[in-house]
Homo-oligomer: A and B are copies of this chain.
Amino acid sequence: MEYPSKVLGKAVEEISGLPGIGRKSALRLALHLLKQPESQGIALADALHQLVTKIKYCIECHNFSDVEVCEICSSHRRDSALLCIVEDVRDVMAIENTGKFIGKYLVLGGKISPMEGVGPAHLNIASIEKKLQSGTVKELIFALSATMEGDTTAYYIYKKFKGFNVNFSSIARGIAIGDELEYADEISLGRSIMHRTPYSEG
């Protein structure tokens, strides 16, 4: 498509480089910005510039952070004995949103996936070792995807660190709240009946 203006064409090209946004959507977004007060577009541009140039990672857990050690890692209210291993920053946010976890996190930065060329060396596994060596961690909780790669990653970490005096656990797998049994896949249903929990009234 020919654009009547080079700055418009360039903007459409850059916006359509984002995942899930084609050229028509990109053009729609660009024209939307042009209809708003100039300050809104500038604020968006500045926020994106800040995002990619200013963001830092917590040196302890590898979550995003504006400071060297993130709020969760530096908090005295969080229980250092519980270390929750997640793949991604979004998983930290998802678990934090539940408000049910008081421990700390370690963001692996992915999962072992030979198909995609991701091996243990690409993940923040050395940071787990450092945490375990400090001796404060009593339980290491896997909160990884219920996929082959997630299971492989958990198994690798378990094998590597089972010599440490620490308990390993994994978030419960089963039927999601609100799911109908007949639509659950066989593997989930099978696992959930094997790993059944004592019934409680709560």
Q: In the assembly, how many copies of this chain are there?
A: 2
Contact yes or no, B47 A10, CB < 8 A:
yes
> A191 contacts the other chain (Cβ, under 8 Å)?
no
Interface residues contributed by chain A, number (CB under 8 Å): 59
> A193 contacts the other chain (Cβ, under 8 Å)?
no
Which of chain A's residues 47-86 have a Cβ closer than 8 Å to chain B? 47-56, 58, 63-66, 70-72
B contact residues around A7 at 8 Å (CB)? 47, 50-51, 54-55, 66
Q: What separation, in Å, do the CA atoms of A4 and B73 have in the docked complex?
A: 11
Q: Which residue of B lies closest to A8 (CB)?
A: B64
Contact yes or no, A11 B51, CB < 8 A:
yes
Closest Cβ–Cβ distance, residue A107 to chain B (whole Å)? 10
Q: Which residue of B lies closest to A49 (CB)?
A: B45
> A166 contacts the other chain (Cβ, under 8 Å)?
no
Q: What separation, in Å, do the CA atoms of A40 and B18 have in the docked complex?
A: 10
Select A48's contact among B44, B51, B55, B63, beta carbons within 8 Å: B44
Interface 9-mer from A25-33, A126-134, A148-156: A25-33
A interface with B by C-beta (< 8 Å): 1-8, 10-11, 13-15, 17-20, 25, 27-34, 38, 40-56, 58, 63-66, 70-72, 88-90, 92-93, 96-97
Q: 3 nearest interchain CB pairs?
A: A41-B52, A45-B49, A11-B51
